[in-house]
Amino acid sequence: MQDKDSEIAGLKARLAEMEDTLRAIRGGEVDAFVMDGKDGKRVYTHKGAEEPYRVLAERMHESAVTLASDGTVLYGNTALSKLLGRPLQKIVGSNLYDFIAPTSRGALQSILLEPLAAGRRCEVVLRCANGTHCPTLIATALIPAEDIRAVTAIVTDLREQRRMMELSASERFARSVVEQATEAVIVCDFAGYVVQMSKAAESLLRDARGMHFSDVFHQAIDWQSDATAFASMASDAVRSALNGQAVRNIEVTAKNTPEELRYFLLSAGPLLNSNENPAGCIVTLTNISDRKAAEVRQRLLMDELNHRVKNTLAAVQSIASHTGRSAPDMQAFRSDFGGRLLALARAHDLLTRQAWQSAMLRDVLRGALAPYLCGGRDRIQIVDGPRIQLTPNAAVTLGMGIHELATNAAKYGALSTTTGKVTLGWKLSHLSEGDLIEIVWRESDGPRVSAPSRRGFGSRLIERGIASEFGGKVEMDYRPEGFCCTARLPLSEKAYL
């Protein structure tokens, strides 16, 4: 028991002694210290330490420097000379402040002001002889010189580390660029294995990372037919890119479902390494199905427009032909044809306003009579009835028919005198066989009326139009006190509430 106590006391004493020694070393209070070596105890003085340190420092890959507190270089190793690009003779004895960037002066100063505080580190940018700047990490180590207070430091070149950091940052950046791309982007290595895909590519081809490109388009794709043609085109493109030959915007199609054809633009380009050799390739698939669909829509619209224009031209042709048959002379032709053409144009205006879907009956009638409705004391009075919609063809026919009634009235009827009047109105009658729209054109206070000797374009147009467009009937009553025209048409899909 007593042995154990004395052993513990002995150990404690040695521990205290060692701690004192360490404290003294740290504080720079000792000039020499004793260490157990393999040949027994050895005394290291600063002088004695210098030689092995020098040997070690010379062989070190990293730069080592011993600095006086004012920055004077007391010692530097070969690596430092290489780093600075200057011979050692020009370094030793110079001041290190001369070899650093102005921005690093503060950092160096903070080390030198506490020369013996070992283990301090700071970043200092060296100015090398070739004019380049070199970021370094200076870490102080305590190996005190004999006579003067000095600090020894290891200078680590940070260029490589920086380069690696930049590289990894740029790689992260490139990775996120690829991932976030809205197009399907696939990156292959030099052997053709997929190393990276964008999210869009994943949703198209599933996760194909690690797969060989020749399998990607075959296996990962869910396209039922055309897959083979598509895969072989895609594989050819990748192969060509890996050989350094870019392939740009080939149009490929793939069937997503039997009904839905999808269109893609396929591009593949080589990724070159620093020796300008292909180190892989990047493949993009741009979905152009929407663009294609828009093109098809556009073509349909153009077709429809062409059809409409041709039909309108045919209508104009018919108007010209009929006007030519009935007009007694060229002047009559010009004025009749011009009036009819304008009536047709007004009907078209109404339809365009409603996207060529329908037109209101009241607008059609007012449009057709526009030249006679100048505001104020109109000779034609329109009595509005219920709201009724007309299909495009029905609207054109009815508008043209009303125009004919008005021109006839102006030539031979109530509007040919100063006193005559016209009343136009419509109403809905509920009959046992269905609802009927009744449109009545009634002339009064004009000249005495007699039936015409032959039927003109106007009355044919009205009778034919009401019959064929609406399945209705027209009654023309040439009563002496005033002409009256009544059109009765059933409510239908062509004329509806």
Cβ-contact 473, 451 below 8 angstroms = no
By the rule CB under 8 A, 310 interacts with another protein: yes
- Strand pairing category for 434-444 and 482-490: antiparallel
What are the strands, taking DSSP E only, across 393-465? 421-431, 434-444
By the rule CB under 8 A, 167 interacts with another protein: no
Fill in the per-residue mask, 259 to 288: x = in contact with another protein (CB under 8 A), - = not in contact.
Answer: ------------------------------
By the rule CB under 8 A, 303 interacts with another protein: yes
The CA distance from 476 to 483, in Å, is 8
By the rule CB under 8 A, 309 interacts with another protein: yes
Cβ-contact 173, 84 below 8 angstroms = no
Fill in the per-residue mask, 401 to 440: x = in contact with another protein (CB under 8 A), - = not in contact.
Answer: ----------------------------------------
CB 274 to another protein: min, Å: 57
Q: Which two tokens stand for residue 353?
A: 């306003």
Interacting stretch for another protein, rule CB under 8 A, among 184-192, 204-212, 302-310, 375-383?
A: 302-310
Chain residues 118-157 in contact with another protein, contact rule CB under 8 A: none
By the rule CB under 8 A, 313 interacts with another protein: yes
User: What angle (nearest 5°) sits at the alpha carbon of residue 377, between those of residues 428 and 346?
Assistant: 60
By the rule CB under 8 A, 311 interacts with another protein: yes
Interacting stretch for another protein, rule CB under 8 A, among 96-104, 123-131, 286-294, 307-315?
A: 307-315
CA-atom Rg of the chain in angstroms: 51
Give buried/exposed letters for 17-27 (b at 16+ CB in 10 A, else e).
eeeeeeeeeee
Chain residues 433-462 in contact with another protein, contact rule CB under 8 A: 457, 460-461
By the rule CB under 8 A, 396 interacts with another protein: yes
| Binding residue (CB under 8 A) for another protein from 314, 332, 383, 428 | 314
The CA distance from 269 to 265, in Å, is 13
Give the number of other CB atoms < 10 A from CB of residue 264. Answer: 23
The CA distance from 324 to 317, in Å, is 10
By the rule CB under 8 A, 464 interacts with another protein: yes
Chain residues 323-352 in contact with another protein, contact rule CB under 8 A: 325
The CA distance from 427 to 100, in Å, is 102
By the rule CB under 8 A, 476 interacts with another protein: no
CA atoms within 13 A on the CB side of 98: 11
By the rule CB under 8 A, 318 interacts with another protein: yes
How many binding residues for another protein (CB under 8 A)? 29
DSSP string, 283-297: EEEEE-HHHHHHHHH
Residues of this chain that interact with another protein (CB under 8 A) are: 303, 306-311, 313-319, 321-322, 325, 391, 393, 396-397, 400, 457, 460-461, 464-465, 468-469
